[in-house]
Amino acid sequence: MEIAELLEKAATYLPSEKLALVEEAHKFALEAHKDQVRQSGEPYLQHPLEAASILTDLRLDVTSLAAALLHDVSEDCHVTQEQISESFGPEVAKLVDGVTKLEYVSSQVSERPDGVDLQSESMRKMLVAMAEDLRVVFIKLADRLHNMRTLDALPPAKRRAIAKETMEVYAPLAHRLGIVKIRSQLEDLAFLHLDPVKFRHTRHLLDKQQLEYEKLINLVSNKLGVELEKAKLKTTISGRAKSIFSLYRKMLKYNAEGKDLGDIHDIIAIRVITEHEEDCYHVLGTVHSLWHPLSGEFNDYIATPKRNGYRSLHTTIICNGTPIEVQIRTQEMHYSSEYGVAAHWRYKEGVKQDPFEQRISGLRQLLEWHEEISGTREFLDSVRTDILRDQVFVYTPKGEIRDLPAGSTVLDFAYNIHTDLGHRCIGAKVNGKLVPLVYRLRNGDTVSIMTTKAERGPSRDWLNPNLGYVNTSRARTRIQQWFRKQAKSENIEKGKEVFEKEARRLGLSLTNREEIAALFGYSDLDDFYAAIGYGEISASQIVTRLATREEQPKVTGPVPAKPATPLSIKVLGTGDLLTQLAHCCKPLPGDEIIGYITRSRGVTVHRTDCPNIARVQQKERLVSVDWGRVDHLYPVTVRIDAWDRVGLLRDISSTVAEEGVNINLVRSEQNSDSSSCVVLTLLVRSISQLSRLLYKLEAINGVTNVMRGDTG
Ligand code: MN
């Protein structure tokens, strides 16, 4: 195969100005593979050229053709995805990358000893890549088809493994995608290598009848052609005998039912392609007027399409004692029956496609395909969620696939495998590289969990949603169960500690603890602490609950048409008084607050635990105030103790920025022991936002303590 030949084929359906990309890709591949030969001895480039040529039969777009030409360069020639992206754009690079990932799956399969079941496992792996872009699958199928055509060059054991995988994974896949042409070629080639004796026997059966079949095909075609011409119907008539493997499969089925070759009615099929849908029924009438139809063999797949979308009229007639299947369909129906989903890309060059639609249509078909092949209910569910809510597919070190909700971390993965693996997890590697436990899994990642042999349990931090260790309910439940099993007194103590620490760091005065416990449905304070202790209630939940409680006005009174205060604080019992936040204690929404009626400036709002409030002599000046629904920024001081290092301030400010919080003021002091203290004034929305931010700041390398700094 030469590039000129490929371009010629592509030019039959693609505008010539688009073909430059294909030519460029060819040049690039030529250079990359220049020193390589295939096992068959021919120049390596033949392989991508042939693969691309197969894709032109499917009429795929230029992007797919370019990617097909480049599909082996990253694997074999160490060309990076970036390089491909630079030269050919990100779309081509993504397709090549997708095929490379599938290549890895295949290489594992061919290393597998005989007899190891690969079917469902491999199929699932395929799904991982498919979810991204179905064109990756088409390229892979073309790649596989050409490899099957040149399989003779490989050692026998490898040949068998690849043929088996082709038969069990790729041919059914092509079938589900409706790519009939590729499917039957894959099957016949795989059949040849898996069972050469039966292959030859079946081919012999077909060969023997070949002449007779051809005669019959000609006879029926000619007679029908004449009649249809008389009826002024524009049609194309063609005939074919069954493919070798599909005949064999049908024979097996018929043998089991006690029938023989003569009972197979579609060894020969005549196909009539019409212009319009209504013509199909017209043609059907003509066929039935010429030959006697076999009763019970008529199917109207136009009125009722098959599940994979196949549409056509099928009838079986008897001609010279031999049954012949006649299929009648329009050009459009024919195209999608031959090329299935690939037809979606036809003529769509330059037309922006909705990627979601593509994905759905692809997955819908895959679903049906999966149902048909393996029928595993549990897996189907996860694919369905994939459509509704993204799932992530990752590999265990043994190559098994696991699916988790998108956003799962390596720790979630550990708990997904085994509870004990989660409890003992101390680290993880993704694709061979060490990652933090909060690493979020990506499709195709290979994850291995590192554990400690020592008996140990999970960390309480893992339950803190602000830290992002686990995002699945399974992991969270398992961790909570572990803590629940600990002695109650220990949980109470721990819970109390967590509760008080949180209160301290946020500078909250929690005088009414019973009330807070009641908010969570606990009448007993110890039970409440225990629940915090084993992680059923997280510290940040307490904060959020308090904040939302505080943000909702307790008393609903007439709301002033115009907010009386620029800060939207509702002052209970004082009417439209001017209010302002006290500078001494800088209260935040969520803080318990109290108002102080000044002589000239209206009401100043303080935290209830502000020392200035404690000093107030004229108690009648104090009024109760409440937070209105606020959407304001409040200044708050945060004190960070850390070991001084280069980049510390930068890390702090970027963490603050990530949370979407503005820094108003920074002050930093160096201590003599090379520790330092950074004081920030931040503008935050609420106490829950502050809580989240404090955790993030605490996680910065070198930071030893983070506290809210306004002490009045
Ligand atoms: Mn290849």
Residue 6 has pLDDT above 80, yes or no: yes
In this prediction, residue 88 has a pLDDT band, given cuts at 50, 70 and 90, of very high
φ/ψ of 338, rounded to 5, equals -80, -40
Mean of pLDDT values over 384-412: 71
Cα angle 54-102-384, degrees, rounded to a multiple of 5: 100
By C-alpha distance, which of 237, 314, 234 is closest to 279? 234
Dist. CA 9–CA 60, nearest whole Å: 11
Pair 641, 674: CB distance under 8 Å = no
Q: How far is the CA of 72 from the centre of ligand 1 (A)?
A: 5
Confidence of residue 361 (pLDDT cuts 50, 70, 90): low
Instruction: Count CA within 13 A, CB hemisphere, residue 516.
Output: 29
Q: How far, in Å, from the CA of 524 to the mean position of ligand 1?
A: 67
489 or 380: whose pLDDT is higher?
489
Name the CATH topology of 199-341: Beta Polymerase; domain 2 (3.30.460)
Q: In what order do the strands lie in the sheet with 579-581?
A: 569-571, 622-627, 593-597, 603-607, 579-581
At 352, the pLDDT band (50, 70, 90 cuts) reads very low
Which residue intervals of the chain bear CATH 3.10.20.30? 389-483
DSSP 8-state assignment for residue 447: E
Residue 577: pLDDT over 70: no
What pLDDT, in 10s, does the model give residues 510-562?
Answer: 667 787 788 788 888 888 888 888 877 877 777 777 665 544 333 333 333 33
Q: How confident is the model at residue 106 (pLDDT cuts 50, 70, 90)?
A: low
In this prediction, residue 367 carries a pLDDT of 45
- Which residue would you say has higher pLDDT here, 654 or 188? 188
* Confidence class for position 409, pLDDT limits 50, 70, 90: very high
Catalytic residues, by residue number, are 75-76
Q: What is the mean pLDDT of the chain?
A: 79
Q: How far is the CA of 398 from the centre of ligand 1 (A)?
A: 24
Instruction: Tell me, in angstroms, the distance from the centre of ligand 1 to residue 144's CA.
Output: 7
**Higher per-residue pLDDT: 401 or 707:** 707
pLDDT of 127 strictly over 60: no
Distance 71 CA to ligand 1 centre (A): 6
The CA-atom distances, in angstroms, between 670 and each of 162, 243, 640, 667, 674 are 66, 82, 12, 10, 7
Centre of ligand 1 to C-alpha 118, Å, is 20
Where are the domain boundaries for CATH 1.10.3210.10 in the chain? 3-194
Rounded Cα distance, 592 and 511, in Å:
10
The predicted-structure confidence for 532-545, as pLDDT tens digits, reads as follows 888 778 777 777 77
- Cα 268 to the center of its chain, rounded Å: 43
Alpha-carbon span 417 to 402, nearest angstrom: 8
**3-194 fold:** Hypothetical protein af1432 (1.10.3210)
How many other CB atoms are found less than 10 A from the CB of residue 8? 12
Contacts of 486 (CB under 8 A, 6+ apart): 457, 533, 534
Per-residue pLDDT, averaged over 564-590, amounts to 63
Q: What H or E segment, with its residue span, contains residue 401?
A: strand 401-405
For ligand 1, the distance from its centroid to the CA atom of residue 289, given in whole angstroms, is 51
pTM as predicted: 0.53
Q: What is the pLDDT of residues 8-18, one digit of tens each?
A: 999 988 888 88
Query: Is 3.10.20.30 the CATH number for 389-483?
Result: yes
- Amino acid letter, 4: A
Burial class of residue 131 (count of CB atoms within 10 Å of its CB; 0-12, 13-18, 19+): buried
Model pLDDT for residues 483-497, shown as the tens digit of each residue: 888 777 888 888 888
Is 312 a residue whose pLDDT tops 90? yes
Beta bridge partner(s), residue 326: 270, 315
Our CA angle for 13, 14, 20, nearest 5°, is: 145
pLDDT at 342: 55
Query: Strand, coil or helix: what is 581?
Result: strand
Residue intervals of the chain classified under CATH 3.30.70.260 are 634-708
Tell me the average pLDDT across 660-669.
79
According to CATH, where is 3.30.460.10 located in the chain?
199-341
The alpha carbon of 247 and the centre of ligand 1 are apart by a number of angstroms equal to: 29
Alpha carbon of 25 to ligand 1 centroid (Å):
15
Per-residue b or e along 409-424, where b marks 16 or more CB atoms closer than 10 Å to that residue's CB: bbbbbbbbeebeebbb
CA of 50 to the centre of ligand 1 (A): 10
Cα of 132 to ligand 1 centre, how many Å? 19
Place of tokens 């029938």: 259
Least confident range from 59-63, 164-168, 208-212, 412-416: namely 208-212
C-alpha of residue 8 to centroid of ligand 1, in Å: 22
Indicate the fold that domain 634-708 takes in CATH: Alpha-Beta Plaits (3.30.70)
Chain-centre distance for alpha carbon 377: 19
Asked if residue 158 has pLDDT above 90, the reply is no
- Name which of 480, 498, 486 is nearest 535 in CA terms: 480
pLDDT at 362: 53
Question: For residue 375, what pLDDT band results from cuts at 50, 70 and 90?
Answer: very low
